[in-house]
């Protein structure tokens, strides 16, 4: 039987003093951003604090790695690009008109979506190469090849981006809400209630709905890919759940120190969560 348990946690002295809002992992380094605007780096194995910087004036909303560049987005309307090894600031982008909420990458560009509904394309050095208007605020993003999945309050839009202009064409619209993740052949997102996850075929036209994942007792706040055909989710019930998307079943569950605002999974399959009160913890699946 699959089991999950919290095996390490940042100390109260070294964790954030505000709610954790973003996390990503690169090798032995775990990057965490919080509502206090600080960016902290922890050791993957011990959860000891390695480094921290006052990265943004307002809340950090997302973190993303592309090559040796760490991108941070913020409610202060900017995206910043850092050297992931040293946290040396490389670039601060021209401000968006509204708070930048979420980012995604297709391996070539970083897509940054804001509360106005604009998604800017940045290269690995933070140079902007275009803007796509999604009409409504961006609550979640996924990018693959020339497709962009954007989520607003009650709908998911799949758009095909033009190689030669800032134009895009809608190829599918799906009723659903954030959070959202793509895991292999599966698109996973929140249902209308926010307490269950819908699993759908990940196809250009949206694919067919395969079923629902139920088990959370309160609204789901974060979801992440956890290997091919698996996902993890957490919510206001302070519970982390691991799902088998092919079998449409729960594999394991464990309590978290609080509501998770963000989840990330390392290459060795460990899950990192951050959230209420600034906690940061490592969960092992066994």
Reading the chain (286 residues) residue by residue, the pLDDT tens digits are 799 999 999 999 999 999 999 999 999 999 999 999 999 999 999 999 999 999 999 999 999 999 999 999 999 999 999 999 999 999 999 999 999 999 999 999 999 999 999 999 999 999 999 999 987 899 999 999 999 999 987 899 999 988 767 788 899 999 999 999 999 999 999 999 999 999 999 988 778 999 999 999 999 999 999 998 999 999 999 999 999 999 999 999 999 999 999 999 999 999 999 999 999 999 999 8
**167-197 burial, b if ≥16 CB within 10 A, otherwise e?**
ebeeebebebbbbbbbbeebbbbbbeebbeb
In words, the CATH class of domain 4-285 is: mainly beta
pTM: 0.96
């Amino acid at each position: 039987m699959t089991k999950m348990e919290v095996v390490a946690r940042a100390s109260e002295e070294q964790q954030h003093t505000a709610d954790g809002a973003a996390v990503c992992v690169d090798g032995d380094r775990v990057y965490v951003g919080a509502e206090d605007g600080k960016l902290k780096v922890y050791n993957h194995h011990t959860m000891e604090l390695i480094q921290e910087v006052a990265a943004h004036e307002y809340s950090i909303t997302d973190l993303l790695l592309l090559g040796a560049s760490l991108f941070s987005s913020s409610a202060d309307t900017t995206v910043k690009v850092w050297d992931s090894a040293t946290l040396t600031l490389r670039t601060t982008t021209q401000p968006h008109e509204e708070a930048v909420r979420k980012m995604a990458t297709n391996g070539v560009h970083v897509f940054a979506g804001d509360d106005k509904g604009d998604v800017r394309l940045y290269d690995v050095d933070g140079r902007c190469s275009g803007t796509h208007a999604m009409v409504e605020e961006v609550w979640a993003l996924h990018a693959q090849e020339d497709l962009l999945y954007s989520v607003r309050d009650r709908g998911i839009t799949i758009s095909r981006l033009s190689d030669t202009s800032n134009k895009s064409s809608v190829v599918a619209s799906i009723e659903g809400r954030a959070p959202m993740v793509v895991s292999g052949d599966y698109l996973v997102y929140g249902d209308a209630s926010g307490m269950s996850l819908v699993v759908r075929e990940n196809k250009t036209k949206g694919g067919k709905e395969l079923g629902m994942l139920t088990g959370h007792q309160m609204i789901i706040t974060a979801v992440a890919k956890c290997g091919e055909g698996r996902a993890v989710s957490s919510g206001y019930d302070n519970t982390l759940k691991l799902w088998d998307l092919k079998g449409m079943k729960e594999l394991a569950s464990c309590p978290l120190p609080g509501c998770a605002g963000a989840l990330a999974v390392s290459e060795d399959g460990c899950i990192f969560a951050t959230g209420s009160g600034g906690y940061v913890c490592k969960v092992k699946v066994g």
